[in-house]
């Protein structure tokens, strides 16, 4: 059974048809590269999965049962986590504080519950080690490299039992060395059996880490094939419209 199954989903904003009649499915431990030009509907599609937008038509199924999401927090409760393009981190807080933001661990009971710094540092450290990232839980995010910041944002998805992680352009604004670091993190998620949707403009990243690629153009899905059966040239043609359908 597919972890995520989207059937005939559409979204329009007034007269604008952002996504039309898209279906796709995603297995556990699979990395899906979602590609397309600006305005192709990638972000809208992902925002529907993340609970930011409600689909105009169509259904989303998680492990076989249909879910209806009204707010991002509900998606999160279902194990769907999103890593935003701008990462949404607080620079003035430590890595651990960011990882647990909004879901702090506390000790004590009743009204006397206080933040459990020790447990949060330890757990965050474990997650960073699992991600094989050289990020230290006590460091302020302000002092971190782009790759480390990405690790913090990804670690945030791992404190809960995430089933699906949606990543919006995680490699857009960072250096070459840090890109390698982020792709490494994505493989780490995959190895834990998490399904990953990777929105990216960067062809090499998708071909490096994804198992499958889905190409969107003008709100429609124009291709959905295993990485091994396609090439960067073909995908480029699909994105621009030089090739009609894959």
Instruction: Write out the residues near another protein by the rule CB under 8 A.
Output: 72-73, 76, 84, 86-93, 97, 101-104, 106, 114-115, 125, 129, 132, 134, 136, 138, 143
- For the CB of residue 101, give the shortest distance to another protein in the complex, in Å: 5
Rg (CA), the chain: 18
- For the CB of residue 56, give the shortest distance to another protein in the complex, in Å: 24
Nearest residue (CB) to another protein, 98 versus 171: 98
Nearest residue (CB) to another protein, 35 versus 48: 48
Nearest residue (CB) to another protein, 5 versus 169: 169
Distance CA 183, CA 199 (A): 13
215 three-class SS: strand
Cα separations in angstroms, 114 against 46, 84, 94, 111: 36, 29, 17, 9
Nearest residue (CB) to another protein, 134 versus 191: 134
Measured at the alpha carbon of residue 178, what is the angle toward residues 173 and 182, in degrees to the nearest 5? 90
Nearest residue (CB) to another protein, 3 versus 98: 98
Distance CA 31, CA 196 (A): 5
- For the CB of residue 37, give the shortest distance to another protein in the complex, in Å: 26
Cα separations in angstroms, 157 against 31, 77, 128, 154, 196: 16, 12, 12, 5, 11
Nearest residue (CB) to another protein, 28 versus 93: 93
Cα separations in angstroms, 79 against 39, 191, 194: 27, 17, 10
Distance CA 216, CA 39 (A): 9
């Amino acid at each position: 059974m597919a972890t995520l199954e989207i059937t005939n989903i559409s979204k329009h904003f007034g007269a604008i048809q952002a996504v039309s009649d898209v279906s796709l499915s995603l297995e556990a431990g699979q990395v899906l590269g979602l590609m397309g030009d600006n305005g192709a509907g990638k972000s809208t599609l992902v925002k529907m999965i993340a609970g930011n937008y409600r689909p105009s038509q169509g259904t989303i199924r998680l492990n076989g049962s249909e879910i209806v999401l009204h707010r991002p927090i509900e998606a999160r409760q279902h194990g769907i986590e999103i890593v935003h393009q701008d990462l949404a981190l607080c620079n003035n807080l430590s890595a651990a504080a960011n990882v647990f933001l909004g879901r702090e661990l506390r000790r004590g009971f009743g009204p006397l519950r206080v933040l459990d710094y020790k447990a949060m540092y330890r757990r965050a450290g474990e997650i960073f080690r699992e991600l094989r990232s050289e990020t230290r839980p006590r460091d302020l995010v302000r002092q971190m490299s782009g790759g480390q910041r990405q690790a913090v944002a990804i670690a945030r998805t791992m404190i809960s039992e995430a089933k699906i992680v949606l990543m919006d352009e995680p490699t857009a604004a960072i250096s070459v060395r840090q890109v390698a670091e982020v792709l490494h993190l994505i493989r780490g998620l995959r190895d834990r059996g998490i399904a990953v949707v990777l929105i990216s403009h960067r062809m090499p990243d998708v071909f490096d880490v994804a198992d499958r690629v889905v190409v969107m153009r003008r709100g429609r899905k124009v291709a959905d094939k295993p990485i091994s059966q396609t090439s960067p040239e073909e995908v480029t043609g699909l994105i621009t419209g030089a090739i009609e359908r894959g």
